[in-house]
């Protein structure tokens, strides 16, 4: 299904449910160190494919592959799956800042009708008026992107706002499964910087706020639940 991406490392029984704008760059770069890869030329640019590009995982290694939701569902109980989520409104701000507020709107978003002179509120309103299948992957709800075909969440859910802490917890769990994920993740993308959206007003009119809550309600609930004191135990024990 459009948007969903489950990166599978068979030798490590590990699945990463990726969400753009949620440490995706840093995690894919780290996972690439766990496998054997080869250099392959980018098909359209004069450079080598990098782990940040989904094509890298199809062209540069035989030790990882992308799974469709049904394939991930079949493996759900035999792998450890994980993801990173973030405050839904902050994620939209990040997308707005990096994909829309630029000289040329990100191509896939320009095709949808986004323009670089729209306010953040207009951006949110426009996004919420799109059908799920029409949305760009950078704005599709996080809960849609990370659930398998039975609606199940990954076994471990980290939070971008507490990434170092949560990554250390997950790394310790994986060491118990003889998988060494290395140390703290490097900041390879501005999405890891909590100050990236300074200057962008979070104000939404009541109508747009309502549409936002309707569109991203599941994301809001998941994020709020992840911040509760008992959430740490749930992240470690989800099955």
Cβ atoms of 77 and 15 within 8 Å: the answer is no
pLDDT score for 189: 65
pLDDT at 124: 97
**Model pLDDT for residues 48-71, shown as the tens digit of each residue:** 999 988 899 999 999 999 999 999
Domain residue limits, the chain: 6-237
The residue with greater pLDDT, 43 or 98, is 98
Residue 22 pLDDT: 92
Whether the Cβ atoms of residue 39 and residue 48 lie closer than 8 Å to each other: yes
The tens digit of pLDDT for each residue in 167-190 reads 999 999 999 999 999 888 877 665
Could you tell me the two tokens for 94? 């990040």
In the prediction, which pLDDT does 233 show? 47
pLDDT of amino acid 38: 93
Top pLDDT among 236 and 32 is at: 32
pLDDT top residue among 233 and 113: 113
**DSSP-derived secondary structure letter, 48:** B
Distances (CA, A) of 112 to 118, 182, 208: 14, 39, 19
Residue 165 has pLDDT above 50, yes or no: yes
């Amino acid at each position: 299904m459009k948007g969903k991406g489950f990166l599978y490392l068979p030798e490590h029984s590990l699945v990463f449910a990726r969400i753009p704008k949620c440490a995706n760059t840093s995690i894919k770069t780290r996972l690439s160190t766990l496998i054997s890869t080869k250099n392959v030329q980018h098909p359209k640019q004069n450079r080598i494919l990098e782990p940040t590009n989904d094509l890298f995982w199809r062209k540069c290694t035989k030790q990882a592959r992308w799974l469709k939701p049904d394939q991930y569902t079949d493996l759900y109980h035999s792998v450890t799956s994980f993801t990173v989520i973030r405050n839904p409104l902050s994620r939209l701000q990040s997308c707005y800042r990096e994909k829309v507020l630029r000289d040329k709107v990100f191509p896939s978003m320009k095709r949808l009708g986004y323009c670089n002179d729209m306010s953040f509120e207009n951006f949110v309103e426009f996004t919420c008026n799109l059908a799920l299948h029409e949305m760009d992957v950078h704005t599709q709800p996080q809960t849609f992107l990370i659930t398998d075909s039975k609606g199940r969440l990954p076994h471990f859910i980290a939070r971008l706002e507490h990434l170092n802490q949560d990554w250390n917890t997950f790394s310790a769990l994986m060491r118990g499964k003889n998988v060494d994920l290395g140390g703290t993740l490097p900041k390879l993308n501005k999405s890891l910087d909590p100050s990236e959206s300074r200057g962008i007003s979070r104000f939404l009119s009541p109508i747009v706020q309502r549409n936002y809550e309707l569109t991203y309600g599941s994301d809001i609930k998941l994020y709020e639940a992840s911040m509760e004191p008992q959430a740490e135990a749930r992240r470690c024990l989800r099955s």
